[in-house]
Amino acid sequence: MIEGAMLRDAIISGSNNIAKYRGQVNDLNIFPVPDGDTGSNMSMTIGAAADELLKLSDTVTAGEVAAKAAAAMLRGARGNSGVILSLLFRGISKGLENIEAAGCEDILRALDLGVEAAYKAVTRPTEGTILTVARVAAERGREALTEGAEPVNVWEAVCNGAAEALEETPELLPVLKRAGVVDAGGQGLCLIFEGMLCVFQGGGVISSGQTAEERKLETEEFFRSAAAEFDSEINFTYCTEFVIGRDPEVKKDPMSLRRYLEGIGDCVLVADDEEIIKVHVHTEEPGNALQKGLSFGQLLSVKIDNMREQHRKLGESQTPAEPEPAPALERQEPTEELGFISVAAGEGLKSLFLELGCTVVVSGGQTMNPSTEDILSAVLATPAKKVFVLPNNKNILLAAEQTIPLAEDREVIVLPTKTLPQGLSAMLAFDPDAGAEENRTAMMEAAGKVDTGLVTFAARDSEFGSEAIRKGDILGLKNGKLDYIEKDPVSTCVRVARSLTGKQTSFITLIYGESITEEQAREAKKQLAAKVHSDVEITLVNGGQPVYYFIISVE
């Protein structure tokens, strides 16, 4: 029989084992534009459970251990792999409910429930992933249930089945076979199961090989660089994860939330217990997803990542230098009526926003989102009673909105600009003779009339739909959607800009980045001018921005 203390130690051992090898698991993540953090996600998810289990005494029951682990993992789940892992353990906790010491049948029933819960939570389950590894592991464990079998024998069969399924994952997912690797999530689950087996066999708890301080530092580093992990082609831009504290007065079924999310995105996971709802979705509408979630209760935590523009850590041979810290901003008394702050990266763009009337331009953008504290400091450094904030990026909008209740001595008005061209058009529409509400309306109307094009590059080999993307390919995006895969940034810029123009187009602004020379920018303007109506005014701006060769504004 597996008593509570043994199960407690087994889960801690499983946590330590994946923590020990999380780097190798990270390296297996080869899906399109991967961030390579599956091992870290799974390690932090089960690590949340281990932290709670360390507080339990030896008199705890197996059911209590499973419940405590499941609750902690649901709250600490990171990424798709972490959510699926938490669902596996949630099912296990249901199977072991009110069980003091678990026998073979208890273990297998619990594992079956865990696999069922994980499969149900995924909209379109993909075989060749962690789901397959968990399912086959449970099946092999069931086959080992013979008369006189001990729990340790059953768990040995579970581990062997998991390893067997892991080796088969490349046959089920061609992308794994082409890369010559096994599934990252499945590998992580094998490591967790093996760590648990060590305790069941009497070998004791595996060491993670880390001190508490090292774990803390690594977690901090992860949150500085982590982004969404991918499970298939990139159909939607934003990986959106949030936790809702359930309102006891709301009786709605969380599955209605899942159905709504399936209508605006994919890779949907919705997990819940009596207190919280954990959500994961890939979508173009993170704001709508959050708004729907609010109908079930309060948001406890939110994490939104742009999956198309990842840090280039895996794709670069050298680690980029840390940016120099921005000079400290001094708080100013709100003496003027209106003030403006904007978020932008690149000296040219910063200068442009300052010239248009912004008091402070917060450094940030697609791959370096400023914190709420950064934006609040800029708000307080603006000497105005009403401060307009232009985030210029969907990922920054929520952080900007958090400043509203924090700036107690002045009113913060967040204009939901989602791109830099929208922000620039909004500032150009400002009327110094009008009031705050009139300007809010006019500025957002101006922002809404702008189409945005982006030209960037592929950081690594990947796939998009039926097309192969090679590292270094030039990517053209229209209003956030990838439309062109090319070889030259100038011709891509011309193609994107031209495709955004119509009969009503009057202005096109080409904002060129730090990797584009003035000669290249002029060539892009020349080629575009030959392809659009002569009445269209084309302007060049040296934005100096990183990541994007060109940011294109079409009005």
Domain definitions of the chain by residue range: 2-225, 238-306, 336-448, 451-554
Distance of alpha carbon 381 from alpha carbon 314, whole angstroms: 37
Is CATH 1.10.1060 what the domain over 451-554 is classified as, yes or no?
A: no
Distance of alpha carbon 454 from alpha carbon 338, whole angstroms: 31
Lookup: tokens for 434:
């009008």
Contact 235, 268 (CB under 8 A): no
Pick one of 1.25.40.10, 1.25.40.340, 2.90.10.10, 3.60.20.10 as the CATH number of 2-225: 1.25.40.340
Among the listed residues 550, 544, 504, the one whose alpha carbon sits nearest the alpha carbon of residue 525: 550
pLDDT at 400: 82
pLDDT at 309: 56
Contact 501, 536 (CB under 8 A): yes
Half-sphere exposure of 183 (CA within 13 A, CB side): 30
Is CATH 2.40.128.20 what the domain over 238-306 is classified as, yes or no?
A: no
Contact 148, 128 (CB under 8 A): no
Give the mean pLDDT per block of 10 residues along the chain (555 residues).
Answer: 93 92 77 54 87 92 93 74 85 92 93 90 81 94 87 94 93 80 90 94 84 53 40 65 86 84 80 78 86 89 71 38 56 93 90 90 71 84 94 79 85 93 91 92 92 82 69 85 88 93 90 91 94 90 88 92
Q: Which residues contact 426 (CB under 8 A, 6 or more apart)?
A: 390, 415, 417, 443, 444, 446, 447
Contact 305, 260 (CB under 8 A): no
Contact 86, 278 (CB under 8 A): yes
pLDDT at 329: 82
Pick one of 3.40.50.300, 3.30.360.10, 3.40.640.10, 3.40.50.510 as the CATH number of 336-448: 3.40.50.510
* CA-based R_g, the chain, Å: 26
Among the listed residues 134, 144, 143, the one whose alpha carbon sits nearest the alpha carbon of residue 110: 134
pLDDT at 270: 76
Do the domains spanning 2-225 and 336-448 agree at the CATH topology level? no
Contact 184, 81 (CB under 8 A): yes
pLDDT at 366: 57
For the sheet with 481-486, list strands across it. Answer: 481-486, 474-478, 451-457, 550-554, 507-512, 537-542
pLDDT at 226: 36
